[in-house]
């Protein structure tokens, strides 16, 4: 046996598991899930004794990250992005294609997959919906799927041509790929940089009207309905979008959606500091929107939690009004979710496993990771009570633009095991903790 994890509280809704166990791992596979003390230490090459203080979740999966590779590797690359993912408890991620050049052909898909082999986790490329992300011509989806993409998206911008988007959705009925839609109408945004409202007025900057998100969300659902296709709505941030998606689900539309922890944690009041690290797209909204997003996570309207990990250099983020949108989040996502939802008694660990591990893989048609005998050994071992302060300089990402900087969070991933290997082990420096 390669690894024995002793006295760990395992939580996996798929296996109806929520109890203290010993987990045996050999050859990359879970070989035993037994009552504590049932497996001898002598049978294991390595023993991790959780001492009843650690929780095992199925390895997390983030279906929405930006690793900036190829083309902008001064911000992040596949290796450093994967390092941040492993630190956060993720054994898999899906990378958006808005790199330079964009991932719209088989050669670039293979580039990502080849580089990903060095990371120790699953780094899966998403292919473009349209060539060059120009909303003029559809990509060759058969070529992209054969090369290894796990989904399609023009994330960073919507597909502006509605008929082209409808055709893309129609094609997914044959190719089986899910289209992930960035729901922001660029003409409505029209140069806005934060949520349009009282805060934008106070700061004297142009706002991004919520209609930009709500309109495209409604459009995508109407297009999906027209051809009976599946549509996935990215980074939901408004009450309007939540209500539209909830109603569509009740009507039987095949729609799924996601949000990031920042949308159910913060509001646009954070922007009063004129700090561009709190700028992302879509933007932080109002308290009413925050509450709506949180409610939607808890009632199942929102299917999964993602990070939209979007690294930018300190120089790029220095000017509040001209900085690019985006925040890093892989190393804070689980902790923020535990802090805001679990430790407030609003959400159990089983639901968090669904949101951050199970549903993202299901939406993309990928095999889920389970804590069960015979399954691939992908685990996040977390201390749900570990309190720490987010210090950007200590993050594994090349970029430090964290929306949670300076926040005290409760809960931390201590070990990440992927394919039966310990790919991350937390070493505390005790600073700020």
pLDDT of the residue at 112: 98
- H runs (alpha helix) in 58-161: 78-87, 106-116, 141-147
pLDDT of the residue at 432: 47
Say how far apart CA 60 and CA 357 lie, in whole Å. Answer: 4
Q: Is the pLDDT of residue 12 over 60?
A: yes
Instruction: Note the pLDDT tens digit of each residue in 391-403.
Output: 999 999 999 999 9
pLDDT of the residue at 429: 62
CB 310 within 8 A of CB 325: yes
Q: Is the pLDDT of residue 194 over 90?
A: yes
* Section 350-360 average pLDDT: 98
Instruction: Note the pLDDT tens digit of each residue in 140-184.
Output: 999 999 999 999 999 999 999 999 999 999 999 999 999 999 999
Q: Please report, to the nearest 10 degrees, the dihedral formed by the alpha carbons of residues 413, 419, 420, 423 taken in order.
A: -40
Residues 6 or more apart whose Cβ sits within 8 Å of residue 202:
272
Give the domain 3-56+374-425 fold. Answer: Urease, subunit C; domain 1 (2.30.40)
Domain assignments of the chain as residue spans, ordered by start: 3-56+374-425, 59-363
* Count of residues in the chain: 433
pLDDT of the residue at 428: 76
Q: Where does 27-141 show beta strands of DSSP type E?
A: 29-34, 46-49, 55-58, 60-65, 90-95, 122-125
CB 82 within 8 A of CB 119: yes
Q: Is the pLDDT of residue 72 over 90?
A: yes
Residues known to be catalytic? 308
* Section 74-78 average pLDDT: 98
Say how far apart CA 293 and CA 170 lie, in whole Å. Answer: 29
Say how far apart CA 63 and CA 259 lie, in whole Å. Answer: 11
* Section 17-37 average pLDDT: 97
If you average pLDDT over every residue of the chain, what do you get?
Answer: 97
**Cα Rg of the chain, angstroms:** 21
Q: Is the pLDDT of residue 431 over 80?
A: no
Instruction: Note the pLDDT tens digit of each residue in 31-69.
Output: 999 999 999 998 899 999 999 999 999 999 999 999 999
Instruction: Note the pLDDT tens digit of each residue in 212-270.
Output: 999 999 999 999 999 999 999 999 999 999 999 999 999 999 999 999 999 999 999 99
Instruction: Note the pLDDT tens digit of each residue in 81-120.
Output: 999 999 999 999 999 999 999 999 999 999 999 999 999 9
CB 415 within 8 A of CB 380: yes
Q: Which of 20, 5, 76 is nearest to 415 (CA)?
A: 5
- According to DSSP, residue 249 is labeled H
* Angle between helix 211-227 and helix 162-175 axes, rounded to 10 deg: 50
* Angle between helix 78-87 and helix 106-116 axes, rounded to 10 deg: 50
Instruction: Note the pLDDT tens digit of each residue in 408-426.
Output: 999 999 999 999 999 999 9
29-34/17-26 β-pairing: antiparallel
Q: Is the pLDDT of residue 367 over 60?
A: yes
What architecture does CATH give domain 59-363?
Answer: Alpha-Beta Barrel (3.20)
- Cα dist. 99→284, 290, 309 in Å? 24, 30, 13
CB 312 within 8 A of CB 324: yes
Say how far apart CA 266 and CA 283 lie, in whole Å. Answer: 10
Residues 6 or more apart whose Cβ sits within 8 Å of residue 247:
none
3-state secondary structure of 316: coil
Torsion angles phi and psi, residue 225, rounded to 5: -60, -35
To the nearest whole percent, how much of the chain has pLDDT over 70? 99
């Amino acid at each position: 046996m390669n690894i024995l994890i002793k006295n760990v509280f395992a939580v996996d809704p798929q296996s109806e598991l929520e109890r203290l166990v010993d987990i045996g791992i050999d050859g990359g596979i879970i070989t035993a899930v037994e009552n504590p003390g049932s497996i001898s230490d002598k049978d294991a090459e390595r023993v991790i004794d959780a001492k009843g203080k650690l929780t095992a979740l199925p390895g997390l999966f983030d279906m929405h990250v930006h690793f900036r590779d190829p083309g902008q590797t001064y911000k992040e690359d596949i290796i450093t992005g994967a390092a941040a993912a492993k630190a956060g408890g993720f054994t898999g991620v899906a990378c958006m294609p808005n790199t330079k050049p964009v991932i719209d052909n088989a050669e670039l898909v293979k580039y990502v997959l080849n580089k990903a082999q060095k990371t120790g986790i699953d780094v899966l490329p998403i292919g473009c919906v349209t060539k060059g992300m120009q909303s003029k011509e559809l990509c060759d989806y058969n070529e992209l799927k054969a090369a290894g993409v796990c989904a399609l998206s023009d994330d960073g911008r919507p597909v502006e041509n509605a008929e082209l988007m409808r055709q893309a959705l129609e094609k997914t009925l044959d190719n089986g790929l899910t289209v992930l839609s960035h729901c922001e109408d660029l003409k409505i945004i029209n140069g806005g940089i934060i949520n349009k409202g009282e805060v934008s007025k106070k700061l004297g900057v142009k706002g991004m009207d919520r209609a930009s998100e709500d309109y495209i969300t409604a459009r995508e659902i109407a297009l999906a309905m027209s051809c009976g296709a599946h549509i996935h709505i990215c980074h939901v941030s408004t009450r309007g979008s939540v209500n539209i998606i909830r109603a569509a689900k009740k009507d039987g539309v095949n729609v799924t959606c996601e949000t990031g922890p920042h949308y159910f944690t913060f509001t646009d009041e954070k922007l009063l500091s004129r700090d561009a690290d709190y700028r992302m797209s879509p933007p932080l909204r109002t308290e009413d929107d925050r509450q709506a997003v949180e409610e939607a996570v808890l009632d199942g309207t929102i299917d999964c939690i993602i990070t939209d990990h979007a690294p930018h250099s300190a120089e790029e983020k220095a000017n509040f009004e001209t900085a690019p949108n985006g925040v890093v989040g892989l190393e804070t996502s689980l902790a923020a979710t535990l802090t805001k939802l679990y430790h407030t008694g609003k959400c159990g660990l089983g639901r968090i496993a669904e949101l951050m591990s199970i549903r993202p893989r299901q939406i993309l048609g990928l095999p889920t990771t389970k804590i069960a005998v015979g399954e691939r050994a992908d685990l996040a071992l977390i201390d749900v009570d570990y309190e720490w302060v987010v210090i950007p300089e200590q993050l594994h990402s090349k970029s430090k633009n964290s929306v949670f900087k300076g926040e005290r969070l409760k809960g931390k991933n201590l070990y990440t095991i992927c394919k039966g290997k310990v790919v991350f082990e937390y070493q505390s420096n005790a600073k700020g903790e």
